[in-house]
A and B are shown apart, each in its own frame.
Chain A
Amino acid sequence: MIGNDIIDLEIPISPNWKSPRYLNKLFSSAEQTAILDSEKPEISLQLFWSLKEATYKAHQRQFDLPRKYNPLSFQCEIISEEKNKFQGIVRTNNQSYFTFSRITRANIHSTATLEKNINTSIKIFQDEDILKDKLFTEYSLLLKEQKSNLWIQKNKQNIPQLFSRNLNTSQVFSLSHHGRFSAFAIALMNS
């Protein structure tokens, strides 16, 4: 199972971000310490937020959950950091998700997966309009199926899934967009 989140760093973060009232609604005390003690607290805050968002999406897809605004239910920890790449673990309800993030000057992108070693395809674009077309192109290659035979349908929790006319498959993916950027993350699953 997979979820992803993109953050455009050109969009300013909340002016409230330093206030304990703001931080206490989003982050545990351990997370707040990690954020505020880091070299660039504003970037760390957005990195942790993207971990929660990506994991929320993966968790919602895994258990077919109704929507909720519960950022405190996701506890993030960065376990390794190399240049601009970060690996982490996010825990929620006795479930752990593995995260992989990349920070550039322009954006932060995080992916969360339930399985540790899973084949993923993650792509970031500078345009939101082309996102779905790019997703169909990717699946067309992966499933060896014509693009015109693929479609997206939302389930009752509003989670989109991809179906194919000729293959008995439903593929789960995650889309994200923010400001100038959009992204998809897919994990190829057995039908």
Chain B
Amino acid sequence: MTDKTILEKIKAIVTPYVQRKEGLEDFSDSTDFISDLKINSANLVDVILDVEDEFNIEIDNTSMEGMLTAGDAKRIILTKLEN
């Protein structure tokens, strides 16, 4: 799976939780889930569960701590897919 495909899948996963839709226009590695997309912090765990289902991986608590941007999520997914 390419970086671009992963990023597109992340975008599709987060979209239902986004409260600031303009933030999706220039969606990239640096897009911050909370400050750019205004995803409610209580919904971040839903995003993580959807990521686990989509990629068939398990995101451990240490990885979850650092999942603040789309790029963070992409790197975590790539690492888990390699293992």
Contact = CB atoms under 8 A, between A and B. Distances in A.
Interface of A: 7, 13-14, 16, 19, 21-22, 25-26, 49, 53, 67-72, 158, 178
Interface of B: 34-35, 40-46, 48-49, 52, 61, 64-68
B41 A53 contact: yes
B62 to A, nearest CB: 9
A21 B49 CA distance: 8
Contacts of A22: 45-46, 49
B42 A13 contact: yes
A34 to B, nearest CB: 18
Nearest to B40: A178
B50 to A, nearest CB: 9
B73 to A, nearest CB: 11
A174 to B, nearest CB: 14
B42 A69 contact: no
5 contacts: A14-B42, A22-B46, A25-B48, A68-B65, A69-B41
Contacts of B65: 68-70
A19 to B, nearest CB: 8
A53 B48 CA distance: 18
B61 A25 contact: yes
B72 to A, nearest CB: 10
B61 A49 contact: no
A25 B66 contact: no
A16 B40 contact: no
Nearest to A25: B45
A72 B65 CA distance: 10
Nearest to B61: A72
B18 to A, nearest CB: 15
Given A67-B68, A68-B66, A69-B67, A14 B61 contact: no
B45 A26 contact: yes
B20 to A, nearest CB: 13
Nearest to A26: B45
B64 A69 contact: yes
Given A53-B41, A70-B61, 13 more contacts: A13-B42, A14-B45, A16-B45, A16-B46, A26-B45, A49-B42, A67-B68, A68-B65, A68-B68, A69-B41, A69-B67, A70-B64, A72-B61
B43 A14 contact: yes
A16 B49 contact: yes
